Structure 1
Amino acid sequence: MIRLKKNVELPAAGLTGFETPLSEEESAIQSSVHRFARDVLRPIGRELDRMTPEDVIAPGSPYWTAMIESAKLGLDPQLIAQFPPEMGVRIESIIGEELGWGDSGLAVSLGVAGMPLMMAQSVGNQELIDMCTGKIGCWANTQPDRGSDGAILYREEISAHGKQPVGNVYAKVGADEIVINGQYSSWVSNGSVAQVALAYMAADYGDGFYGTGENAAQTNGIGMIIPLDLPGISRGKPLDKIGQRALPQGEIFFDNVRVPKRFAIAMKDEYLGNLTSTWSFGGTHMCQVFTGVARAAFEMALAYCHERKQGGGFLIEHQMTQLRLGDMLRRLEMARAIARRSLAFARMSPQTHPYATAQAKVSVTEEAMKITHEAFQLFGGNGTTREYPIEKLFRDVRSALIEDGENYHLTMRLGVLASRLYQNGWTKE
């Protein structure tokens, strides 16, 4: 039935756009996280953006204030899991978007910080849970010579006569302990500050690094939770980059580091399944965060167009400005829809896949880049100055097109997945 109205009213629009009514719990969570993003993340993110990477992670830095204040929110994933699945997805999406609206670098740092603990909880290892509780974590997988190669799932992704590289950090698995040597790259999020790591690497179980038969071109691997205060572990300089400067990233080095074998969370046969599960889970956070960044850029442009005069009137009075703002809002709503859909798939589908969530990351960050670029243009010359925060958002979003997988490469992997699904009968009916 058509819902008839007697008057033309403005549509219901909240912080997250044209949203269906939120429950009392959802509204309370959104309000709480929005205040935190507005009052803590956004001002601290701007302050950290002007600091050197070394000063960002130094004792007394505002970065640590953000970490401490975030803990007071009590946003435990296990609490979110108590809600009905559809409601839990929307709450998680709202939280991620608000954090990204506040500051994308800090939002990513907060998301990665809890990954070792979530993995420990997922495998049900109480020793690892205790070791990770209250600690800042990182997700260590990327290596100087094994970035995107570190998560190869199919033979089609390897050149015809090539092999997946062993990489720069590797493990020798013994009867009771694992010995690690090598380094992770500068791009490990929270690598400069983490106390525990959820780490993935190539592994030799006594028969070499490579599998046999169909898996002869792929390395064997292992997943572990590693306390980063073990003898033989050191750090490189924190990475100095153009965007997301509030996110500490840096190298981690291993020199004959001995880890108890009981710290392993995925051995030879479970390695790829565990890695893809982690990637499917973690990749969705990028979508929500950069929907929030796109929203921040749109809101800044919308406000500026009501303040700046040009051609005898405010910018908002010109039809071309209205068209440009309308296009930005349309893209923002599309990005949010894609982000929510990918999150729902990753959390609720019985058969998730990282390439499915990766394509959403591509779509959302590409739309966020277009929105932020258009906002930047509307600011004109003012946008290029540090007086206006739109230039920071532009730098932050530009990094996201490479972060968590370069967008062209991820799109290629979606093509590989489409081919695999077709060979399995998809679209043939």
Structure 2
Amino acid sequence: MTSNPPEFPQMSRQSPAHGWPQNPKSKIDGFGIQPPLDDITREFQPQLRKFAVEVMRPIGQRLDRLPADQIIAEGSEFWTFHKRYQELGVELSMLAQMEPEARANLFCVLLEELGYGDGGLAISVAAGMLPTYVSMLFGNQFLMERFPETELGCWGITEPDHGSDSIDPQGMVRHPGAKYGRPNTVARFYKDKIILNGQKSAWVSNGTCAKHCILYCAADFGDGPSVEGGCVLVIPLDLPGISRGKPLEKLGQRGDPQGEIFFNDVEVSLDYVLAGPEDYLRAVYCIHSEANALMGAIWTGAARSAYHLAHAYAHERKQGGVPIFNHQLVAYKLFHMFRSVEAASSLTRRVVHYNMTSDVPALQAAMCAKTLGTQTAFEVSSEALGIFGGNGLTHEYPMEKIMRDSRASLIEDGTNDVLAIKGGYYLMDPDLL
């Protein structure tokens, strides 16, 4: 016995789904799931990706194989890279003139794409612009003009005896009863000058080769050095009494030349003060908010790079007679890598948008971007290396380098563990206690 097939309602031709294929599938492009961008950012992003893949990545891989002192030597491709970056025409003055929403978009896209190319070189660029950028945020025209972004800068805050606690002058995460201890760098103030003595640690990005430095240190007005009431200076690094340590040999981010800076009775004009004791906590909060946000964007870009490399390899590599993408576990892993990258990108852009449109940026939000972006980069690059199998361990493929670079990101600009504790305290509402 047969029956007539059931009649189903016809989809309206006005329905958005009417034009879909019968078996729908959306193909996501190389820039991932991102909201609509303004015209400038949308046009600039493909140029940045091309620069990241064709310029940054190969230069970064070659620098990674060099001894640290050769990376910054005259004629090194490190300098070639920075020259090529300047030719892109990304200027802080241009960013400053944009509306906050558009500036947030371009800021994130720029740093994500630089991280996509090479994490260490991206950090070198970001650290290099901090002296000018923070001077701009504080409205100091003299320092902005004295230290243009076309010259490589650095940020000197970490010290031999003070790592992540350098960004916690309030002592929020300090053990009960503990004190900061003796600072390693002190600015002694006189009526018409400052005398600097001490050193910054080997972790100063661009410290071995920068032209100038935004220096965070203890201040002494005659009654002993104070960290809580410290100071911020932006100074040239060719002053008498300044010397540098050897470039640091390290596991990852070798394209970011790090090293010590020493100060021996260095005389500085008061004109170079960006923030005195009354503004020191503001200055720490400001640069920390900016640095954590840019870290989130850079390492999200590195995570996306690792995911894309693994995604392409899974289509090419065959095991069991088929591309390994056909194996369930590989598809499963790639899905979670994709999910993680998109989550980190979405959070970072949301944080930067919020902070650039708020009266006071949320440092705890910037800490979220930094911890999620860096953790995602390390986890995704580790999974990507696994998809490459034994090939991932070799220098022939970029996976082991991305994983090494990403591991370092969990420590720099405040270890993620310390940031989580301090960020947790920033979430505390005193009115509810």
TM-score band by shorter chain is over 0.9
Tell me how far apart the structure 1 counterparts of residues 26 and 37 of structure 2 sit (CA, whole Å).
15
Alignment of 1:279-294 (within 5 A): 279-294=288-303
Question: Which residue matches 1:381?
Answer: 390
User: Relative to 1, partners in 2 of residues 1:16 and 1:131: Cα closer, same or farther, differing over 3 Å?
Assistant: same
Question: Which residue matches 1:20?
Answer: 35
Equivalent residue in structure 2 for 1:365, among 367, 374, 380: 374
Question: Which residue matches 1:214?
Answer: none
Question: Which residue matches 1:248?
Answer: 257
Tell me how far apart the structure 2 counterparts of residues 204 and 401 of structure 1 sit (CA, whole Å).
33
Q: Do the aligned residues in 2 keep the contact of 1:190 with 1:247 (CA within 8 Å)?
A: yes
- Give % identity: 38
Question: Which residue matches 1:398?
Answer: 407
1:232-267 deviation digits (Å, cap 9, x = unpaired):
000000011111110010000000001001110111
Question: Which residue matches 2:431?
Answer: 424
SS at match of 1:220: strand
User: Relative to 1, partners in 2 of residues 1:223 and 1:365: Cα closer, same or farther, differing over 3 Å?
Assistant: same
1:155 CA displacement: 4.4
Report which stretch shifted further, 270-279 or 23-32. 23-32
1:32 CA displacement: 1.7
Question: Which residue matches 2:61?
Answer: 46
SS at match of 1:219: strand
1:73-119 deviation digits (Å, cap 9, x = unpaired):
11112212333322221121111111000111111101111111223
Alignment of 1:25-36 (within 5 A): 25-36=40-51
SS at match of 2:222: coil
1:208 CA displacement: 2.3
Question: Which residue matches 1:412?
Answer: 421
User: Relative to 1, partners in 2 of residues 1:413 and 1:243: Cα closer, same or farther, differing over 3 Å?
Assistant: same
Q: Do the aligned residues in 1 keep the contact of 2:169 with 2:228 (CA within 8 Å)?
A: no
1:389-418 deviation digits (Å, cap 9, x = unpaired):
111111111111111111111111122222
Tell me how far apart the structure 1 counterparts of residues 18 and 418 of structure 2 sit (CA, whole Å).
49
Tell me how far apart the structure 2 counterparts of residues 23 and 269 of structure 1 sit (CA, whole Å).
39
1:336-395 deviation digits (Å, cap 9, x = unpaired):
111112212322221224333123211111122111111111111111111111111111
Q: Do the aligned residues in 1 keep the contact of 2:228 with 2:280 (CA within 8 Å)?
A: no
Question: Which residue matches 1:323?
Answer: 332
Tell me how far apart the structure 1 counterparts of residues 60 and 245 of structure 2 sit (CA, whole Å).
23
SS at match of 1:186: coil
Two-structure CA RMSD over aligned residues (Å):
1.8
Alignment of 1:65-214 (within 5 A): 65-133=80-148, 134-210=150-226
Tell me how far apart the structure 2 counterparts of residues 2 and 25 of structure 1 sit (CA, whole Å).
33
Which runs of 5 or more structure 2 residues have no equivalent in the other structure? Answer: 1-13
Which runs of 5 or more structure 1 residues have no equivalent in the other structure? Answer: 211-217
SS at match of 1:396: helix
Tell me how far apart the structure 2 counterparts of residues 413 and 207 of structure 1 sit (CA, whole Å).
30
1:2 CA displacement: 7.3
1:146 CA displacement: 1.2
User: Relative to 1, partners in 2 of residues 1:360 and 1:126: Cα closer, same or farther, differing over 3 Å?
Assistant: closer
Q: Do the aligned residues in 1 keep the contact of 2:364 with 2:424 (CA within 8 Å)?
A: no
Aligned length: 417
Tell me how far apart the structure 2 counterparts of residues 354 and 86 of structure 1 sit (CA, whole Å).
18
TM-score (norm: length of structure 1): 0.93
